[in-house]
Structure 1
């Protein structure tokens, strides 16, 4: 678990973390607590390095289907 949290940080993971922190701060300051749900989503994705696609939901098929002739 510690390895997953501390390794494999890339640009998009940092962007999600910063965006989550900013949205959480803005939601608290502006008292729009419903936005905290969005902040938690971004923070969860950044901290645990998951995407909205789930388990390889957005992966491309490595073996393209050949058209019938």
Structure 2
């Protein structure tokens, strides 16, 4: 978990974080409850490094063979 949070901070991840912070500020300022959900969505993507990348949405294919 610590590795997910503190590694691989690429520019798109920083952009998601900035958008999330901006939307959360706007949600509090204008008291828009729905905008808070949008902000939470962007913040979740930034913190946990989820979302679609340039090559599309896919699950990494890690093969865990203990026999080798």
Fold shared per TM-score above 0.5: yes
Q: Specify the alignment match of 2:29 in structure 1.
A: 29
Q: For each residue in 1:13-65, what CA deviation from the matched residue of structure 2 results, as whole angstroms up to 9, or x when unmatched?
A: 00000100000010111111111110000000000000058x607xxxxxxxx
Q: Specify the alignment match of 2:44 in structure 1.
A: 44
Q: Specify the alignment match of 1:61 in structure 2.
A: none
| Alpha-carbon spacing, 1:35–1:15, altered in 2? closer, same or farther (3 Å) | same
Q: Aligned Cα RMSD in Å?
A: 1.7
Q: Specify the alignment match of 1:16 in structure 2.
A: 16
* Local SS of the residue matching 1:46: helix
- Work out which of the two has the higher radius of gyration on C-alpha atoms and give 1 or 2: 1
Which 5+ residue runs of structure 1 have no aligned equivalent?
58-69
Moved over 3 A (4+): none
Which 5+ residue runs of structure 2 have no aligned equivalent?
60-68
- How many pairs are equivalent? 56
State how far apart, in whole Å, the 2-side matches of 1:17 and 1:43 are: 6
